[in-house]
Amino acid sequence: MILTVTLNAALDVTYFVDEVTPHTSHRVERTVERAGGKGINVSRVLAALGHPVLATGLVGGTTGQSVREDLRAAGLRDALVPVLGESRRTVTVVSQRSGDATVFNQAGPHVDLRSWAEFTRRYAELVGQATVVVLAGSLPPGLPDDAYAGLVETARAAGAVTVLDTSGPALLAALAARPDVIKPNAAEIIDATGRSDLAQAAAELQARGARAVAASDGPRGLYAVTRDGRHRAVPPARLRGNPTGAGDACVAALAAGLAAGLPWPEILREAVALSAAAVAAPLAGDFDRVLYEQFRTEVSVETTLLAAPPLEPAPLETTPLETPPCP
């Protein structure tokens, strides 16, 4: 089973318009509301691929109830934990003429210490059932920067592989817990390291604790640094469409490949094919299955193997963060 964690779940509202023009009014041709947040989007993709998946995280208020109802309607299993306050809504405006998307993200509810303690208790129970744990998305207000670090440590103690997709201080703080894979995009990895060279930035994050780094570079594909080498996977064509769910589809493929024990070149081929097929789908969490099957045989992967794997860093003198204090 693959467990996905969305600490800042959302109700995604998508407006489809002919074209987005600043400083004018727009006629909305179609509106879609569905449960979202990065981990939940990953769950949708994994379920569509036939993988057993369970979604957990935090939800609150009537918006949180709408999130859970939508998951049930979609046939997705969840073990979401309630918190005080109201879950956020995200608004995406998609220009149907160009395929571009403009996204507005709310911050999310403030998470108090008691709610976080209840979540970490429930999470510790769930990870014992999981082969891979996906930790994805932003941290809601109230949680410390090292919240993901504690969750990574708990998963490792349970024997699960971790895939982390976050950014900023939460990403940097989690490196000390040595997540198995991190998946920043090009902008996030530059922000984290200050380096514009993707290869150098990925190598730096690996040196700081990540066991593997898979950095997405938009239409240029995926660059990865792993224990056995460096890899670049490139899509066969540049697609127009809504890119908001491409990163989540990429993470889903990484998780599925790790769960299946695939070699890294094959994992990256799947990740690029699936993320490219997601660009062609109108909503995050969906993908074009025909394009996915086509791209699986067309993605090119270049690999430079290392003569020997790097040494493991010395063990950290830390204890798992079961209930880290909230600021």
Is residue 297 predicted with pLDDT exceeding 50? yes
* 133/10 Cα distance (integer angstroms): 20
pLDDT in tens, 169-199: 999 999 999 999 999 999 999 999 999 888 8
Tokens of 299: 């993605």
pLDDT in tens, 4-16: 999 999 999 999 9
**Strand residue runs (E) in 203-320:** 213-216, 222-225, 229-234, 300-305
pLDDT in tens, 190-234: 999 999 888 899 999 999 999 999 999 888 889 999 988 999 999
What is the three-class DSSP state of 118? helix
pLDDT in tens, 138-163: 999 999 999 999 999 999 999 999 99
222-225, strands of its sheet edge to edge: 78-82, 53-59, 2-6, 132-136, 161-165, 181-182, 213-216, 222-225, 229-234, 300-305
- Catalytic site residue 78? no
Percent pLDDT > 90 in the chain is 79
Residue 66 contacts residue 89 (beta carbons within 8 Å): no
| Cβ partners under 8 Å of residue 48, min gap 6 | 286, 287, 289
- Tell me the helices (H) and strands (E) count for the chain, helix number first: 10, 14
pLDDT in tens, 34-93: 999 999 999 999 999 999 999 999 999 999 999 999 999 999 999 999 999 999 999 999
Query: In the block, which residue shows the tokens 């979609």?
Result: 74
Q: If we measure between CA atoms, which residue out of 160, 125, 121, 172 comes closest to residue 321?
A: 121
Is residue 316 predicted with pLDDT exceeding 60? no
Q: What is the pTM of this model?
A: 0.89
| Cβ partners under 8 Å of residue 207, min gap 6 | none
Say which of 12, 78, 146, 248 is annotated catalytic.
248
